[in-house]
């Protein structure tokens, strides 16, 4: 289901998670957690090739990303939250910055 996961710190300090894989649209929502921290505001990308979501607080380094569609059991992904110094920072904001380079974080586009 999950082939990759990246974490980005937004300018307001919130963490964004971007996952790639196959996430079919279903009647029941996709839920995700990193350690004990819920991923909120999950949005499945067009074509169901990934999802983005937000973390209100930082998980511990090494915490695993777990996803699930209720009522199915959780699926361990093997994707781990990195140490705080390893979290990517998206490029500068603004119209010019966006024209020069698209942000790797879809929630910022």
pLDDT in the model for residue 78: 92
Partners of 9 in beta bridges = 15
- Predicted TM-score (pTM) of the model is 0.75
CATH of the structural domain 2-108, one choice from 2.40.50, 1.20.120, 3.30.420, 2.60.40: 2.60.40
Give the pLDDT of residue 82.
87
pLDDT, tens digit, 9 for 90 and up, residues 47-101? 888 899 999 999 999 999 999 988 889 999 999 998 766 666 665 544 444 444 4
The structure tokens listed for 10 are 């937004």
For the chain, give every domain's residue range: 2-108
- How far apart (Å, rounded) are the C-alpha atoms in residues 39 and 74? 14
What pLDDT does 100 receive?
45
């Amino acid at each position: 289901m999950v082939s990759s996961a990246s974490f980005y710190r937004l300018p307001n300090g919130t963490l964004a998670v971007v996952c790639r894989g196959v996430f079919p649209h279903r009647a029941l929502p996709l839920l995700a957690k990193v350690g004990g921290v819920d991923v909120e505001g999950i949005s499945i990308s067009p074509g169901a090739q990934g999802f983005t979501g937000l973390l209100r607080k930082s998980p511990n380094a090494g915490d695993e990303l777990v996803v699930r569609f209720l009522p199915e059991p959780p699926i361990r992904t093997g994707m781990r939250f990195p140490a705080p110094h390893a979290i990517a920072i998206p490029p500068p904001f603004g119209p010019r910055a966006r024209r020069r380079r698209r942000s790797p974080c879809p929630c910022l586009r």
